[in-house]
Amino acid sequence: AGGGRLLDRIRKWYYNAAGFNKLGLMRDDTLHEDDDVKEALKRLPQHLYNERVFRIKRALDLSLKHQILPKDQWTKYEEDHHYLEPYLKEVIRERHEKEAWNKK
């Protein structure tokens, strides 16, 4: 039990050290947009896509101004959900299935 808490504290420290949360971004907002991620983004429900675009535009604006959000507006580790992950897993599964089919 103690090791799990230590690992969780390390994860939280690393999350905050990365800095994207200080701009209001979530982890999935920072993924490199390869073909799989681009396809997953197309499958996002409109409200999730709009929220992502807002966070990214706000982060770009803050970055250009060399500012960060007030601490109470930072994305918290506990509140960061992997909204893109289910769609990305589906895209990758479909791509692997297609690749396996094409090998036959």
- Kindly list the structural domains of the chain, giving each domain's residue range(s) and its CATH number in brackets, ordered by start: 2-103 (1.10.1090.10)
pLDDT of residue 1: 57
Tell which residue, 87, 88, 79, has the closest CA to residue 24.
79
Q: What is the pTM of this model?
A: 0.86
Q: Which residues of the chain are under the pLDDT cut of 70? A: 1-2
pLDDT of residue 2: 66
Tell which residue, 13, 18, 22, 82, has the closest CA to residue 55.
22
